[in-house]
Chain A
């Protein structure tokens, strides 16, 4: 079994294999395939709760990946708002930089820019251009819900956000309302 803790090297080496076998465009086609079929959890969360679904999805994923990050969400009752993520040390790129027995794919970080907007755009969530410092395995991104989603989506997101507010102290989350 290839452990899930060994997935990132397998992922990066797959990009390299695809590029060697075909070309860079094939790597992008693979990312587009992932954007269509591998984002089920994210899509379910966003479909139900709008922007707050992004908070729930990345809160779970980034903690499981032991990322070094700050993530903030600023959300209105009508569902508009934004989420900002400051990845101080990406657990994926960071690992790849630590290996010295194989080369990471030269454009490894670009997969995030292709995969996630495919699903987020469908639900009116705009991805702002990402700032990237590959050699430090750091990046920053923000996601914006500029227009209110359907009222039931806004309500579900707001209720979930209020629940998170109640549990914030127990989860070491800083929270406030104004």
Chain B
């Protein structure tokens, strides 16, 4: 008989299990199949209102720097091809995604991207911005690469 024993502490590794991107993709597929588009949106709003409540509180207190720091931390860890830009206007934040690490990984696994997968960004951003002075914009979505342009601006500002 052959015996193997592996003993690991949490501190031995970095927490980065990219297959979880596909798990979320499968969740969106399930919701789409069983609850339709409104079900997908309703769940994403429910998730964002609960999980991102602390981020939203930080946004209200410190402004868009809260979102900038959040996304810099995430993309530094996850990789991809992403530019996060601020202008002189403190009420403008643009995230230009040329290759999304989540979509890149899902494609690598060979799993079809769920319908409306991009709502995991756009609907979540809109929900975070609810009842704040900012609004979220989402454009130039490419389901092959996950490319998109994500902007946060003052609600009264011109596009």
A contact set with B: CB distance below 8 Å? 1-11, 13-14, 16-17, 21, 30, 33-34, 37-38, 40-41, 55, 59, 61-76, 81, 89, 91, 101-102, 158, 161-162, 164-165, 168, 171-178
**A6-B51, A61-B19, A158-B2 known, 13 other contacts, Cβ within 8 Å:** A3-B77, A4-B21, A7-B21, A17-B46, A64-B13, A70-B6, A70-B7, A75-B1, A101-B54, A164-B4, A165-B2, A172-B6, A175-B5
Bound form: Cα–Cα A128–B21 in Å: 29
Contact B8–A67 (Cβ < 8 Å)? yes
Chain B nearest CB: distance from A175 CB in Å? Answer: 5
Residue contacts A-B, CB under 8 angstroms, 25 given: A2-B121, A3-B74, A5-B16, A8-B20, A11-B23, A13-B43, A13-B47, A14-B27, A37-B26, A61-B19, A63-B8, A63-B12, A64-B16, A65-B13, A66-B14, A71-B5, A72-B5, A72-B6, A74-B1, A75-B2, A89-B10, A91-B10, A165-B4, A173-B6, A174-B4
Find B24's partner among A2, A63, A164 (CB 8 Å cutoff): A2
Chain B nearest CB: distance from A102 CB in Å? Answer: 4
Bound form: Cα–Cα A4–B26 in Å: 13
Counting chain B residues whose Cβ lies within 8 A of the other chain, the interface size class is: 35 or more
Contact A177–B1 (Cβ < 8 Å)? yes
B contact set with A: CB distance below 8 Å? 1-24, 26-27, 30, 35, 39, 42-43, 46-47, 50-51, 53-54, 74-75, 77-78, 97, 100-102, 105, 109, 120-121, 124, 146
Tell me whether chain B's interface is mostly helix, strand or loop, or mixed. Answer: helix
Q: Which residue of B lies closest to A14 (CB)?
A: B27
Taking each of B13, B54, B78, which has the highest tally of chain A beta carbons within 10 Å of its own beta carbon?
A: B13
Find B20's partner among A7, A66, A173 (CB 8 Å cutoff): A7
User: Which residues on A sit within 8 Å (CB–CB) of B13?
Assistant: 63-66
Chain B nearest CB: distance from A136 CB in Å? Answer: 14
Bound form: Cα–Cα A65–B14 in Å: 7
Find A68's partner among B8, B24, B120 (CB 8 Å cutoff): B8
Contact A5–B77 (Cβ < 8 Å)? yes
Bound form: Cα–Cα A13–B8 in Å: 28
Chain A nearest CB: distance from B95 CB in Å? Answer: 9
Contact B2–A175 (Cβ < 8 Å)? yes
What 6 A-B pairs have minimum CB-CB distances, sorted nearest first? Answer: A7-B20, A4-B20, A64-B17, A66-B15, A174-B5, A102-B50
